[in-house]
Amino acid sequence: MEAVRLNTVLIVLGIVIIPALSQGGLKTGFYSSSCPKAESIVRSTVEARFNKDPTVAAGLLRLHFHDCFVQGCDGSILIAGASAEKTALPNLGLRGFEVIDDAKSQLESLCPGVVSCADILALAARDAVDLVNISVEVQVGVCLPGRRDGRISSSADASSLPSPLDSVPTQRQKFASKGLDDHDLVTLVGAHTIGQTDCIFFRYRLYNFTTTGNSDPSINQVFLAQLKSTCPKDGDGSIRVALDKDSQFKFDVNFFKNVRDGNGILESDQRLWGDSSTRRIVQNYAGNIIGLLGFRFDFEFPKAMIKMSSIEVKTGTQGEIRKICSKFN
């Protein structure tokens, strides 16, 4: 992690130096000899899809997050099957699988049996974030390759995933079980700056929050009227709504300002303002009126991503290198 801090400082000073990084069997340049074009192929595949559909960026980032929280970052979310991880309720809205399959197909033709699906997913998430108007500091070191693919994928294991209904204590427990603290929690939830969700996942906050027909009192009243207009009580629950009001295609701190102002869409996001510990972090990212104080989200996000991308990874002789990402060898 010290190497990451040093790297950021060098960039700020205008010195373009990228030191070699390593962490738990993962390292920069992992495929430099075995498949030199691996990262550029993933990048070009993500970029081609992003140019057609910018919303795929949020999809890939969420796909990687869901992968890492179940069985670690091992590509288990990519496995197809009636009882596979991807069939669990929290995973039914995941997207971006075709991007991973496309990149894998190209890499298997060029370097068969070398690049893992878990790494392709991690690299794709990194590149997706980079493409959404994010500053140069986040481009370096967000993903250290070297993961191998897992051999287990079960929908029953998905209970470890955070839920939009989770209180802060529950979120804290789920993140802590993966070695992530409150700072990581708030920082990673900040990825919702480019996300979307369906009306069905938050409509209860608008019409029946207390089962007596009341709305969630933490919602800004002006925003509440807007949400009710977009998501009528008996309307189409699949209507998509941006998780970051007014800034859904920019990877910025506007999401935290929305949480501060009562404009959070998901209950779990808005609850971050009600807990003293997470509220302080949200406020630091949102900044003051001038916007000059507080943590730099573009500095902190890559560090949190590196931690998350290293959760329970398989390296060395563990796991396998799948030939097809959706099925075990």
- Among 66, 126, 147, 271, the active-site one is 66
Per-position DSSP letters for 282-298, written without gaps between them: HHHHH--SSS-SS--HH
DSSP state of 221: H
The answer to the question of whether 162 is labelled as a binding residue is yes
The answer to the question of whether 252 is labelled as a binding residue is yes
Q: Distance between CA atoms of 223 and 230, rounded to whole angstroms?
A: 11
The answer to the question of whether 85 is labelled as a binding residue is yes
What does the buried/exposed string (b/e) look like for 109-141 if buried means 16 or more CB atoms within 10 Å of the residue's CB?
A: eebeeebbbbbbbbbbbbbbbbbbebeebbebb
The closest of 146, 170, 128, 153 to 67, measured between CA atoms, is 153
The answer to the question of whether 234 is labelled as a binding residue is no
Question: For residues 197 and 265, is the Cβ–Cβ distance under 8 A?
Answer: yes
The answer to the question of whether 101 is labelled as a binding residue is no
Q: Alpha-carbon Rg of the chain, whole angstroms?
A: 20
| Catalytic residue status for 64 | no
The answer to the question of whether 72 is labelled as a binding residue is yes
The answer to the question of whether 192 is labelled as a binding residue is yes
Q: How far is CA 294 from CA 2, 25, 202, 283, in A?
A: 21, 33, 30, 8
The answer to the question of whether 145 is labelled as a binding residue is no
Residues assigned a catalytic role: 66
Residue numbers belonging to the annotated binding site for Ca(2+):
67, 70, 72, 74, 76, 85, 193, 244, 252
Residue numbers belonging to the annotated binding site:
67, 70, 72, 74, 76, 85, 162, 192-193, 244, 252
